[in-house]
Amino acid sequence: MNQLVTGKFISQKRKEKNLTQEQLAEKLGVSNKTVSKWETGKCMPDYSVVKSLCEELEISVAELMDGEAAEEKSVRTYDEEQIMDLLRRTQELEKQKNTLYGIVLIVMGIALLALSHTLGGTALQDFFQGLC
């Protein structure tokens, strides 16, 4: 799945429906900036709006993921429910990864703070003992 290709496909289908980014965004309950990010390939539509997006653009989930319309004679074995489940799980994993990064950074910060107090405390004690 190529985000740029998918984004161009969303843009093409939106324009075929004579919709502005703002109109499509309003129908989906997102901002026009969000639609712009999809169309420029900066991000993919969230799992929660994929079905609505596909309905508005009159495309299948598989076509959205492929970034192109299916040919009439094309035989596809995609199960849209499986694709949606995969999208949901992928986005959940991405959120979990970001949460884990945040936790690791917090733990590292606390460890460095504790280490600096330990080293700083020892250095200060040595300094004051040298004065006495």
CATH number assigned to the domain comprising residue 40: 1.10.260.40
Structural domain that includes position 56: 1-73
- 97 shares a domain with 58: no
- The whole-number average pLDDT for the span 21-45 is 93
Residues 86 and 41 in one domain: no
Same domain, yes or no, for 5 and 49? yes
pTM of the model: 0.61
Number of domains into which the chain is organized: 2
Same domain, 64 and 85: no
Q: Both 67 and 2 in a single domain?
A: yes
Are 53 and 88 part of one and the same domain? Answer: no
Of 44-53, 58-67, 113-122, which range is least confident? 113-122
Q: Are residues 33 and 64 in the same domain?
A: yes
- The 10 Å Cβ neighbour count of residue 126 is 9
End-to-end CA gap in the chain? 70
**What tokens appear for 82 in the block?**
């499986």
Domain identity same for 2 and 40 = yes
Choosing from 57, 73, 89, the residue where a domain stops is 73
Q: What is the DSSP letter of 2?
A: -
Confidence band for 55, pLDDT divided at 50, 70 and 90? very high
Judge if 9 and 65 occupy the same domain: yes
